Amino acid sequence: MSASPVDDYVGARLRARRIMLGLSQDMIGKKVGVSFQQVQKYERGINRIGSSRLYQFSKLLDVPISFFFEGYEQCDAYQNEETQYPSMIAAEDQHAFDHEHMSSRETLELVRTYYAIKDEKTRKRFLDLLKSFTELDQSA
């Protein structure tokens, strides 16, 4: 059980950024001087991340400290019986996206891979191709 919805949110943002950069829990744990198990606890919101540790993560992951809190005020910070973490998506977008899909490893790796495509035209064509699959799926 987490300490608070803020801890859950900050941990989810830490996890998302780590995966976007293709780093393991062990890799970032070693760089900041904690075990991968401790990184897991931070990411799940089980343990709070202290200010000095949050500063280390921000430097390591090349984001400002504010990154870990961005969007929190727009999210649904109230927990229901089934989930122990707040949505990371702004309220107006909550119906469009499922939080669990948006923060899944598969989604984060897809986004990281997409932005690894350097040629803008190729990226656009790839996006168009993905959209065409959803159109085919909906018409079936």
| Residue 121: inside a domain | no
Instruction: Supply the range of the domain harboring residue 99.
Output: 5-103
pTM of the model: 0.63
Residue ranges, the chain, pLDDT below 70: 1-3, 76-103, 140
Scored b (16 or more CB within 10 A) or e, 43-69 reads bbbbbbbeeebbebbbebbebeeebbe
Whether the CB-CB separation of 39 and 29 falls below 8 Å is answered with yes
Q: Is 73 among the domain residues?
A: yes
Residue 61 within a domain: yes
- The tally of domains found in the chain comes to 1
Q: DSSP for 5-48, please give it.
A: HHHHHHHHHHHHHHHHTT--HHHHHHHHT--HHHHHHHHHTSSP
Question: Quick check: is 116 in a domain?
Answer: no
With respect to residue 132, please indicate whether it lies within any of the assigned structural domains.
no
Q: Are the CB atoms for 99 and 16 separated by under 8 Å?
A: no
For residue 16, the domain's CATH number is 1.10.260.40
